[in-house]
Structure 1
Amino acid sequence: MKRGTQLSRRGALKLFSAAAAGAALTGCGLSSGSSVPLRVGPGSIKPVPELEGVPFTVGSKDFTEQIVLAYIAEFAMSAAGAEVRDLSNITGSASARNALVSKQIDLLWEYTGSSWISYNGKTDPIPDARAQYDAVRKLDIEANGVTWFALSLKADNTYAFALNQENAARLGVEKLSDLKRVAQQNPQELSFCVESEFASRNDGLPGVAEAYGFQVDQSKVETLSTGPIYSATATGKACNLGEVFTTDGRIQSLDLKVLEDDKQFFPRYNLAMTTRVEMLERYPQLESVFAPISAKLDNQQLLDLNAGVDVDGRDPADVARAWMVEHGFVTAPDAA
């Protein structure tokens, strides 16, 4: 199911069995990958002797953010001297994860909440981002032979509610706790546009309402697909509050106001690199290649990267390389 910038990651909140993941992977017809689409030279990322000529296949899930991040990883590894293959845009989170485990890809940017909830079946997320990362890393190493590194504590692609600027100012809301006051004073203003699953899940609208102490009038809940939610929230006609994902480029292009999740209800989806345990043991230099990149990645950077593709219509590889060049990680020897 296509979800614009996010496409299928949120569908990964459902548990996938290993059999289903394997079947999905076979259906994708994954091959050995293609070459990196654009040339780069060394910048702050210099050739690493231990990585020179070593083959690495970089994979990604099938939504904009993941594809751009895959190219960022590919350019980083190319500058470090590795022989890089591109296997981005794998259909479905479970298929991408299974590709990593089954050695069809070697590097995959991942989200802590996806692994904790979807791949490992945990029902209670850990609110603290660092603690969630430490827990999922330990679990994945022990249970799945997958390890994590280069965590970005500032890049968290989780759920949120947003309004257009006019409605946010009129209702005087900055954080989700403010919705209790709106519900008490102007209950007719508490209208929502959400996905159908989110409307009924405990980690969706009902859970938010319980955690923040307000009642939801079901007659004021519109269920839409992701794209229409953004446009409906921007116009403010079908609803005042829309379910969004915090790094979606449409937040920026539509000038939406995202409410702070001040009670940290939603799971953390912090970004980090994943690989198999034996790969990181063999090539510990991977950490020094990716740590500076993760240090630069935050929600605003991801918003800009995603908007470059989904709003401006640029090619993901061009967006990724331009960002790498801008921050000095690589050079572009063939750029005009």
Structure 2
Amino acid sequence: MERVRLPTSRQRRGRFVLTVTLAAVAVLLAGCFDPLDRAGSRDPDPNHIVVGSGGVLEAQIIGQIYIDALKANDFQVTDQLNSGTRERYVPALKAGDIDLTPDFIGNLLYYLASNNSAVSAERAEQISTITDLPGIEAAMPEALGPDLAIGEPAPGSDSDSVTVTSTTADRYRLKTIGDLAELSKRQTVTFMANSEFATRSVGVPGLEKNYGLRVEFRPNNDSGGQATINELTSGRVTAADIYTTTPAITTENLVVLEDPKNNFPANNIVPLIAKSKVTPKLLEVLNAVSAKLTVTELRDLNYAVSGPRKLEVEQAASEWVDRWNLNEKIGQR
């Protein structure tokens, strides 16, 4: 946008008032300007990457890590983090307003399949039942379509879980969801999660179908937040749906029960890329980042921002990139 030039003192007062008023309006409009409302603005230069992200804190941290690692490898990077929901940033990727964003592979697959006109409703329904990572990766190409691509998924997955305290796990020798199902045959198992978990196919119905786990369900719509964690650690509920990258799993010494039947969809972190910007160099950088994003690392990154240190996203990302030597060029690490 051109800079607004204010008139000099030699100009007539009437013109001065009008121009200043127009300048003020321009500033207000600039403050409300949404770059994702522009379509088809992609710079064809493969070394210029516009990085976006969803609004959740974890996505913004990972997006900032992408930015730092790409800059270290001589990419020109434009920051468009916090680009809104998937309903906004996926069309923006296709339209040319952003080139790259982190995403969660299972949820991404289901969204793309259900919003791709080339995928039939029947096939989209079939895809929605795929929960294991290899199956999700195998189905992804048909859902991505001609405009999008992904890099390698990170080992870290931000998934739903059945989580218990270490005291409960030790007392009843719980390692898997199946172990908890056996316990539920002998005594009441109370379970806390968002209210929709009671009817979701991967929620209470899925746990009963896949494992025979029967629970006394107690809704709490904080998405596995502090209120749910307090209920769990106090012993008022036996188990809860806590997202696997939640820092409290480490800080409160909680135990995520293994899910060998893949009741919960894999949600490994994955870079979602505009296909026109995919180059070997870009993939090399992004895959190097992904390789380090384990569940433990994701919890630590989230804790660095939300915990007592209260780091800004930029500082947390910078420290992490430095620690893993991702601030150096590929081939010099």
After TM superposition, the score normalised by the length of structure 1 is: 0.76
Residue 269 (structure 1) aligned to one of 260, 267, 270: 267
Is residue 60 of structure 1 aligned with residue 27 of structure 2?
no
Structure 1 position 279, deviation (Å): 1.4
Secondary structure, counterpart of 1:273 in structure 2? strand
Query: CA 1:83–1:256 in structure 2 vs 1: closer, same or farther (change >3 Å)?
Result: same
**Do the aligned residues in 1 keep the contact of 2:178 with 2:213 (CA within 8 Å)?**
no
**Alpha-carbon deviation of 1:97?**
2.0
| Mapped contact 2:112–2:143 kept (Cα < 8 A) | no
Equivalent residue runs for 1:1-336 within 5 Å:
30-31=34-35, 54-121=47-114, 122-123=124-125, 124-142=128-146, 145-152=147-154, 154-186=155-187, 188=188, 190-218=189-217, 221-226=218-223, 227=225, 228-237=227-236, 239-280=237-278, 283-312=279-308, 313-330=310-327
Deviation at 1:125, TM superposition (A): 3.5
Gaps of 5+ in 2: 1-31, 37-44, 115-123, 329-333
4+ long deviations beyond 3 Å: 122-125
Identity among equivalent positions (%) equals 23
Opposite residue 289 of structure 1, the aligned amino acid is: V
Instruction: Note the C-alpha offset of 1:130.
Output: 2.7
Q: Greater shift after overlay, 133-142 or 260-269?
A: 133-142
Cα distance in 2, alignment partners of residues 99 and 193 from structure 1: 36
Deviates more, 1:96-105 or 1:297-306: 96-105
Note if contact 2:106-2:131 (Cα within 8 Å) is conserved in structure 1: no
- Cα distance change, pair 230–30 in 1 and its aligned pair in 2 (3 A): farther
- The TM-score normalised by the length of structure 2 is 0.77
**2:153 partner SS:** strand
Structure 1 vs Structure 2 CA RMSD: 2.1
Q: Indicate conservation of the 8 Å contact 1:101/1:146, yes or no.
A: yes
Counting matched residue pairs gives 276
Letter in 2 for 1:176: I
The C-alpha deviation readout for 1:118-176, integer Å capped at 9, x for no partner, is 2322343434413311321343034xx11111322x12111101112222222321110
How far apart, in 2, do the equivalents of 1:216 and 1:299 lie? 27
More strand by share: 1
Q: CA deviation at 1:184?
A: 1.3
